[in-house]
Amino acid sequence: MNTQMKSEFLVSPFLVMFLVHGTQYGIGVLSYQRSLVKIVGNDAWISIIATGIVIHFLIWILYSMLNKNKGDLISIHQQTFGKWLGNFLSTLYILFILSQATIVLRSYIEIVQVWMFPLLKTWPFALVILLGVYYVVIGGFRVVTGVCFLAVVVPFYLIFTFFAPIEFSNFRNLLPVFDHSFIEMAESLKGVGFTFSGFEYVLFYYPFIKRPESSQKWAHFANLFTTALYLFIMVITLAYFEKEYLKTVIWPTLMMWKIVELPFVERFEIIGVTSWAVVMMPIICVMFWAASRAIKQLFKVKQRKSLVLLLFICFIVSCSLTNREKIQQFNDWITEIGFYIIFLYLPLLFICFHIRYKVRGKS
């Protein structure tokens, strides 16, 4: 399939690093510490390392399928399960992507409402963001890639703000090491695994990469960088907060930003929340681009029309999540499904694909 794409639609292999990291490093960075600490306490940093290693393995199995199929998830489903079952599974995956995009959007709006504008209504802000997403996605995949590149480069300065809490940190909070059972550590994978999601969208944009086989190393570099950032933030969080207090904080990252002092701004967390719009934007753009393109392939509908429909559904669902309880319930539901899709379904698809591939090769 990649050979059928015109060169002006393709992106360089190294840009996969920005595509993968730009979708991995998202809204979960502001709150992932709490869910991990509830499960494994001071050993949460070990879970980050373990999850990063598992994600490297998952990236390898995705490229193993893509390098043989030379297509995307739609063609992999069709080749593995046949046209009807394959298209049905692809449709379910599209609904999951739509749900992911909705919870990312609504979670960010909730943070803005809590930390900046308590009286802000959901629908105007959601409408503005989704109009921006529409403008980016209709520009094509190269524009989406450019947004991912900017989302990694522009807010990079925020990383240096995490050095501020070190002065008030107690690194003895990380002790004792390996204080939890293997079952608890495995359970923590469920708590943080979905935070690492985003790498799997290579299943959709693989045909838009020049020499796509050579982009695998950049995907691994991206995941390594993401793991390092998550690990660094987790270690600082554990050292700065007491464990029992950390279990009660909804957004630990924002709480750490409260101690950052600058001569020209009193509340730095406001700048952090505002800058996070740049981080959040490419994630939603990649999701809607992938979902609308998949609909175009499955149902032969113009991508622009399917994009409008998806954005409208996202807008309606986002506005219907009116309070913290509904948002958290929807987020827990998506996290649960996402965990099984990423850590169970994708390896199962890998096994089925290679069995079918070998059978066809023999026949």
Instruction: Give domain status of residue 108, yes or no.
Output: yes
- As a whole number, mean pLDDT of residues 234-254 equals 91
User: Under the phi-then-psi rule, with left for phi > 0, alpha for psi from -120 to 50, and beta for the rest, what region is 36?
Assistant: alpha
Where residue 351 falls among pLDDT bands split at 50, 70, 90? very high
Helices and strands (H and E) in the chain: how many: 16, 0
Pull the structure tokens for residue 308: 């409008």
Q: Over the stretch 273-283, which tens digit does the pLDDT of each residue have?
A: 888 999 999 99
2 pLDDT more than 70 = no
Domain assignment of residue 313, yes or no: yes
Contact between residue 223 and residue 62 where contact means Cβ atoms under 8 Å apart: no
109 is a domain residue? yes
Phi, psi of 209 (to 5 degrees): -110, 135
Tokens of 272: 């952090």
The arithmetic mean of pLDDT across residues 221-241, rounded, is 95
- 3-class secondary-structure state, position 310: helix
Domain span at residue 311 reads: 13-358
Average pLDDT score over residue span 332-340 = 92
pLDDT of residue 3: 42
Domain assignment present for 153: yes
Number of domains in the chain: 1
pLDDT at 1 (0 to 100): 43
The whole-number pLDDT of residue 362 equals: 55
Tell whether the model's pLDDT for residue 267 goes beyond 90: no
Mean pLDDT computed over 260-271: 76
Q: What is the pLDDT of residues 161-204, one digit of tens each?
A: 899 899 889 999 888 888 888 888 888 888 788 889 999 999 99
What does the pLDDT read at residue 358?
81
Residue 37 placed within a domain:
yes
CA angle (324, 111, 253) in 5-degree steps: 110
| Average confidence (pLDDT) over 86-91 | 96
Question: What mean pLDDT value characterizes the chain?
Answer: 91
Q: Identify whether 323 is part of a domain.
A: yes
Task: Evaluate whether residue 234 is within a structural domain.
Answer: yes
Q: What is the CATH number of the domain that holds 76?
A: 1.20.1740.10
Q: Do 254 and 30 contact (CB within 8 A), yes or no?
A: yes
Q: At what angle do helices 141-153 and 16-24 cross, to 10 degrees?
A: 70
By the 8 A CB rule, do 88 and 326 touch?
Answer: no
Q: Does 7 map to a domain?
A: no
